[in-house]
Structure 1
Amino acid sequence: MKIFKPTQNEYNAQSQQNIYVQAVTSENALQTMAENISIVDNFFKSLPVEKYFYRYAEGKWTPLEVLGHLIDCERILAYRAMCIARGEKQSLPGFEEADYVNATNFNKKSLRSLLLQYKAQRKSTILLFKSFSQRELSRIGLANNWSITPRAIAWIIAGHELHHLNILKERYL
C-alpha cells in the first residue's frame, strides 16, 4: 500500500508540520516508516553509551529522551489518525511535548526497553495505516483545532522521526 504525499490543505502547512512532511524524500510514507525501523535501531545501538545522557545545550534532550519523545509522539499521532479515519468530529487535544518528556524519566530506562517500545509502536502504526481505505486516509478532522487528514499524519510521523535523527547526527555525534 502506498500513502502518497498530502496536499497542503490536508494539514497546517504554515507550521512545523510542513517541515516534517517535506523531510520525507520517498513517494510513500509507509515505506519510509518501515525503512526507518532498522535505521533508528542501528543508530541508537551504535551510539556510544557515554552519549546516552549527553545534552548539546542546557535544556536540550538527551538521545534517550529524544527516543522516548519519538515513541510518545507516534502513539499520539497514530491515535489521532485512527480517530479521524473513524469520523471523529471533536477536535482532538493538543499536547506539550516538553511536559511529556519531563513527566517521565527516559534516562532511567534502558536503551533496550525503549527500542522494544519503539519497534512495537512502529509496527502497530504501519498496520493501522495499512488498514485504512483511501477514503479514511482522506477524511478531514481536527487535532489541536487544526484541520488534518490521516494521510498527512502518516507523513508527519515519518518526517518527525527523520527531523530528530538529523539533529541527533548533527549535534550529538
Structure 2
Amino acid sequence: MLKRPLENEYPSYYNNYLKLVPSGNLLEILEEQLTEAVTLFSGLSEEQGSIAYASGKWTVKEVIGHMIDTERIMSYRLLRISRGDKSPLAGFSEEDYAFEGKFTQRLLTELVEELQTVRKSTISLLRGIPEYAWPRSGTANELPVTAQAVAFIIAGHWIHHMRIIEERYLQN
C-alpha cells in the first residue's frame, strides 16, 4: 500500500501540496480528481476557458495546460525514480512551458481530453509500480525525492490548481 511520505522524502516547498492530499487510497483519490475535473471543465464555455482572474495571470486553459505539463513531468520523474534510475532529473520553468504550450490557441475540449489521457496514464503507471519501489529515492531539480512523494505531489498539485480555478476563476 502506498504510504504518505515523510517530510524528509521531498523538498520542503512541496509541503503546501502534500498537506492538501486527503487520507485514503491515493489511486482512488487520483481517479476522483479526474472525474471532478472533467465534470467541471466540460461544463465551461470556450469564453470561460479564456478568462484570467487578473491581469498577468493565466487563463483557465493555461492553468489546465500547466496541470497537464506538470503531471507529465512528475510522472516521468516517478517512472525514473521508481525504476531505480539515479540520474539527476532537471527542473523546469512553468512560465516558459505555459508560454510555449500556446494553450490559449487550443480548444477547451481538446485540453480536457488531453488532461484525461495524461491522468489515466499516471494512474496506470502507479498501478504498475511494485511495493518495494515506492521508497526509492532520486534527485529532481537538484534535490532528493522518493517515488511515493512524487505520487503525492501529483495529487496535491492537482488539488492546489483546482482550488484556484474554483475560487478565483469561477466565483463570479
Tell me, yes or no, if the aligned pair for 2:136 and 2:146 is still in contact at 8 Å.
yes
Distance 1:94 1:46 in 2: 33
Question: Does 2:63 match 1:62?
Answer: no
Aligned counterpart, 1:11: 10
Kindly report which structure 2 residues correspond to 1:129-148, keeping only aligned pairs within 5 A, or say none.
129-148=126-145
TM-score (norm 1): 0.94
Listed as ranges, the gaps of 5+ residues in structure 1 are none
RMSD of aligned alpha carbons = 1.1
Aligned length: 170
Give the AA of the match of 1:6: P
Distance 2:162 2:91 in 1: 23
Tell me, yes or no, if the aligned pair for 1:5 and 1:28 is still in contact at 8 Å.
no
Listed as ranges, the gaps of 5+ residues in structure 2 are none
Distance 1:63 1:129 in 2: 27
Aligned counterpart, 1:82: 79
The runs of at least 4 consecutive aligned structure 1 residues that moved more than 3 Å come to none
TM-score (norm 2): 0.94
- Indicate the SS of the match to 1:90: coil
Aligned-pair CA distance for 1:59: 1.6
Aligned counterpart, 1:32: 29
Tell me, yes or no, if the aligned pair for 2:65 and 2:101 is still in contact at 8 Å.
no
